[in-house]
Chains A and B, each alone.
Chain A
């Protein structure tokens, strides 16, 4: 009985007793969720347009952030470094398309997936070789990002919001909105969706696969850069961040591989669920459950709906 009470009642009593803590936890979860959603967005972009499940997206986040900070350390002014990083991400997109995707066209999905594993390792090695493996501090203030916290007096306590988190949320929303418009309304966006449906059919109506791939990988690279800046500003830039890339996988599962709104909603559910779980139920299990809770949420959901929240129904035929 005692354990049932601890699982089903006590956490809610705690929530009611200290609403400010609840709000704080929810906010933390929301911010984490936004950042997960941004990584998931990079995945979705590439998956939608090329059918490649890009495992390297998380590493691209770290790689972009590391390039930015590394260039700044070498004496490049912040905004020039930013521009140069964007150029590096473009070069990466072109390189990936030329050297990896083009020779693998029409291969089974699983082969492409594994190829992105190779890309992951390649980028880890390259990043560490060029910029060193030690953690770095993100140049947030040089880029004009706000610092410090705002304390809001509410519900009988203080809720402290980091300004950088607010900025992250705003930037993320803007990015998602513009991507949605880009996919739905523009010519290139339509071409992207066509490629996602069928490579062959898109080719036959004169869409250049090579161009499309470069565009989406570049877009994913820019999303990765934005995520890297935000995430790096909250903690530090190092390859330990790659673990957050893996956090984006349950987000994807929850939201469905092809849906941009899915990535957002999934990210928020995972982020908030994870923080609430860790804060209120974690102590029962000796804490640290954050590392696998997201996967279990996603897994339970999968058993109920295998294609995710907004995913397209999987139809199989012989």
Chain B
């Protein structure tokens, strides 16, 4: 009833090409943004902001990054964690070397370093593909993890081998470091994620996105219609790593407040990949769904049984999470290979024709 587009006519091409052509979608997005940017910061507890929303947004951004590569360009990558690490370490080096520049600038700039590394490890993608390429990205994962431990220059020769986030301010308000309020950090993460999601959505709707999808669907055919494969694939690696790098920098600077190399290990890469699969390959909104499901599932497992009077051991929760995530992946691949995003689409379609089935 409410979600029906009858009577909304498009009278020019601009309207036809709009991101949200349907009025109700525009209202919906507005409401979501309003809740995220106003309601949650005003009424959310510090726990909600610090331990649920901020990490969710960080993971969502990393998932978008991997989705651009795996979902849109069809290049499987298992090195996401390492690329996030490059972003984090680059940001750390930049802000300690140039403390005068605002840290938000460095968080965004660290993405470029990550992109450069991504391009380097994407170079073999012209000659090798599929599983073989996945192994090439594993090389990146292990090599970079090793660098984060063995190259002391990266963490300023700290004895602990970890990076600690120094305090940085914006207009006198601390935004990183131990004194910053969760609300400030949440708002910055939110702003960066919104802007970058918007950029990504425009990127994939345009020429570049279509090139990526052509490569994904059949790379030889794409080559035959005049798409330069190497450039396209490397661009996908660069953009994807850029997103992952920014996500990694945000993860350390605006969430953890400090990190060791261990944070960016292969399990991190797998977690992000699972978010992509469950959320839906080749879907931006799916990236958010996937991040929410995988990240919030352990939190639910920890708190809901305790509320119901069956407190689970911390280790048991972890094992159960593994089992459930593993089973979910298989179930999703069988039942709905396009993930939660497709379920969302089906739901919208049902709503559109409601109360009739067709």
Could you list which residues of chain A lie within 8 angstroms of chain B, going by C-beta atoms? 53, 99-100, 103-104, 107, 109-111, 113-115, 117-126, 128-129, 133, 246, 249-250, 252-253, 257, 285-286, 288-289, 291-292, 295-296, 298-299, 302-303, 306, 316-318
Contacts and interface: CB of A to CB of B under 8 A. Distances in A.
Interface in B227-261: none
B316 A129 contact: yes
Interface in B203-234: 218, 220-221, 224
Nearest to B315: A133
Contact of B150 (A124, A249, A288): A288
B323 interface: yes
Given A125-B321, A253-B132, 19 more contacts: A103-B334, A104-B333, A104-B334, A107-B333, A110-B74, A111-B333, A114-B333, A115-B329, A115-B330, A115-B333, A121-B274, A133-B315, A246-B142, A289-B146, A291-B145, A296-B139, A296-B143, A302-B124, A316-B220
12 contacts: A104-B334, A114-B273, A114-B333, A118-B329, A121-B325, A125-B321, A126-B323, A291-B142, A292-B143, A302-B132, A306-B128, A318-B220
A109 to B, nearest CB: 7
Nearest to A104: B334
B127 A303 contact: yes
Contacts of B284: none
B135 A295 contact: yes
Closest 10 CB pairs of A and B: A125-B322, A122-B326, A118-B329, A121-B326, A295-B139, A125-B323, A292-B142, A118-B330, A129-B319, A292-B143
Contacts of B325: 118, 121, 125
Interface of B: 74, 76, 124, 127-128, 130-132, 135-136, 138-139, 142-143, 145-146, 149-150, 218, 220-221, 224, 266, 270, 273-274, 277, 315-316, 318-330, 333-334, 337
A104 B218 CA distance: 21
B322 A121 contact: yes
B322 A124 contact: yes
B319 A128 contact: yes
B322 A128 contact: yes
Is chain A's binding surface mostly helix, strand, loop or mixed? helix
Contacts of B132: 253, 302, 306
A103 B330 CA distance: 10
Contacts of A295: 135-136, 138-139, 142-143
Given A103-B334, A117-B274, A318 B224 contact: yes
Which of B270, B277, B318, B323 is the most central at the interface, judged by chain A CB atoms within 10 Å of its CB?
Answer: B323
A91 B339 CA distance: 29
A66 to B, nearest CB: 13
A123 B322 CA distance: 8
A121 B328 CA distance: 10
B131 A53 contact: yes
A318 B330 contact: no
A246 B224 contact: no
B330 A109 contact: no
B329 A117 contact: yes
Contacts of A113: 76, 131
Contacts of A246: 138, 142, 266
A125 B330 contact: no
B221 A118 contact: no
A253 B324 CA distance: 31
Contacts of B139: 292, 295-296, 298-299
B333 A118 contact: yes
A291 B146 contact: yes
Contact of A125 (B142, B145, B320): B320
Nearest to B329: A118
Which of A109, A117, A317 is the most central at the interface, judged by chain B CB atoms within 10 Å of its CB?
Answer: A117
Contacts of B274: 117, 121
A122 to B, nearest CB: 3
Contacts of A289: 146
B218 A318 contact: yes
Nearest to A132: B315
Contacts of A257: 131
A311 B266 CA distance: 27
Nearest to B273: A117
B220 A288 contact: no
A252 B135 CA distance: 10
A250 B135 contact: yes
Nearest to A121: B326
A129 B320 contact: yes
B132 to A, nearest CB: 6
Which of B221, B323, B330 is the most central at the interface, judged by chain A CB atoms within 10 Å of its CB?
Answer: B330
A302 B333 contact: no
Given A249-B138, A303-B124, A121 B329 contact: yes
A303 B324 CA distance: 38
Contacts of A111: 333, 337
A285 B147 CA distance: 10
A289 B150 CA distance: 10
A298 B124 CA distance: 12
Nearest to A47: B131
A129 B330 contact: no
Nearest to B149: A288
Contacts of B218: 318
A91 B319 CA distance: 21
B322 A302 contact: no
Contacts of B324: 125
A248 to B, nearest CB: 10
A96 B150 CA distance: 40
Contacts of A296: 139, 143
A104 B325 CA distance: 18
A62 B327 CA distance: 19
A286 B147 CA distance: 10
